[in-house]
Amino acid sequence: MAEPELVSLTETKEAVVKEKTKRSWIVPTLIILLVISGTTNAITGKIRAETLGEYSGLVTNIVGQMAYFISYWGVFGAEWFAGRISHEEVDWVWKFPPSASINPELSGLRRLWARLPGCKYTFLASITEVLGDNLMYLTQAYISIVVFSLLQQGMVPFTLIWSLIFLGVRYTLQELFGVGIVVAMAVGSVIMAGNDGASTSVGMSIVCLLSTMFQALAFVIKEKMFRRYTEHAIANGYKNTTLDAFAVSSSNHTFGIIWVVPIAIIVELARTGQDPGERLHDGFNALAHNPYAPQAFAVYMVINVFFNITIYLLVSHGSSLLTFISYKLTVPLAAIFSLISWPIIGASTVTWFEWTALVLILCGIVIFRHGNGKREELEVKNREIEAANSEEQLRRFTKITLANSGLIEAIRLFTFSYLNTSVQKVDG
């Protein structure tokens, strides 16, 4: 993350990060809850998709955005009253910055962008997230639980690509090798999708993989938002330099409510060519009257919202790396539990390739994340070296300046003395 020029490395290190209540039992409890709810989310998501059929993406995305909006604003409100969110965070997200704070050298679109509040990031992220979620929900009814879990790992390579473009992140060979394994297995899962009978559609597998491209873009845009706030907070000397996760998620789903219906209509028009109003009517009619659809949907939404809140809380109390690794534990567990005969969907069969792909993808992710840690350590060391070099250059410059000042003073005194002597000789 690029730091403002006016903020030294020492000030950055000494910046006080938001104080959060950290008790020894909270993080382990959140990890267990995340793994359980994540695995259950995969199973109940498949059941919900089966009951809604072709309307799964349409209905789930619309109702889901409303549920997220209510839930995240509820948590945000609770944190606000508990004093865990500062006025600076809220102001940065929602208020237009004062004109005096805008860099006068900016012009055109760049100046317009700088004049917008921080929620400009979630305004854009919500578009790609809603589209990605719509496509993901749409495909779930046509793909087995295991293949769906494998294809969702496409988030890893797409996140790498978008980070490279928008965050300027440079990756090591180890990270690229890990991502290469994930890509190979995800593509292989699409190619082999037709081999497990009617449980998986090749076309829907491709759409599912593409959905992760849009979800990854939303993730990177929000990451950009976190980074910009940190830079802003450090430059202005704020006590809290980390933007609260629910300040981001609440604003993200505020815009999600706006985008979800138009995007759902566009997707349905592109997919079926039928009247969108009729499709919406039929979709919610299916939710209300299809056998077990209301019950399956209600159970899924409760688990899904709980699962997503658990992710945000673990990021808040733990770290993004810990959350990432904990979430990946749900992939093999979902595969194992899919072998059980569940209501409506029955039991799934897992082919030898899917087991192999599952193991290799997890290995690729571990390699990738290990490479992340090594790269971040190198970046910290490089910043320390740059800071040390800057301090050394400053000391040298100071010495040279002082030496020059002494020389200049000596020349001045010599000149003054010489002129006085010359004047005295002339007077004499």
Task: Please give the chain's pLDDT, 428 residues, in tens.
Answer: 333 333 333 343 344 334 344 456 787 888 889 889 999 999 999 999 999 989 998 999 999 999 999 999 999 999 999 988 999 999 999 999 988 888 888 888 888 998 999 999 999 999 999 999 999 999 988 888 888 888 888 888 888 889 888 888 777 888 888 888 887 887 777 677 655 554 567 888 899 999 999 999 998 999 899 989 999 999 889 888 889 989 999 999 999 999 999 999 999 999 888 898 899 999 999 999 999 999 999 999 999 999 988 988 887 676 665 677 778 778 888 888 888 899 988 888 777 887 888 888 888 878 877 887 787 788 778 777 877 776 666 677 666 655 555 656 656 665 666 556 554 544 55
Phi, psi of 150 (to 5 degrees): -65, -45
CB atoms inside a 10 Å sphere around CB 228: 16
Query: Rounded to an integer, what distance in angstroms lies between the CA atom of residue 3 and that of residue 233?
Result: 11
Residue 189 CA, distance from chain mean position: 25
Query: Which amino acid, one-letter code, is at 172?
Result: T
Question: 């440079």: which residue's tokens?
Answer: 170
Contacts of 101 (CB under 8 A, 6+ apart): none
Nearest partner of 153 among 398, 427, 375, 364, judged by Cα: 364
pTM: 0.78
Question: 């089966």: which residue's tokens?
Answer: 50
State in Å, rounded, how far the first CA of the chain is from the last one: 72
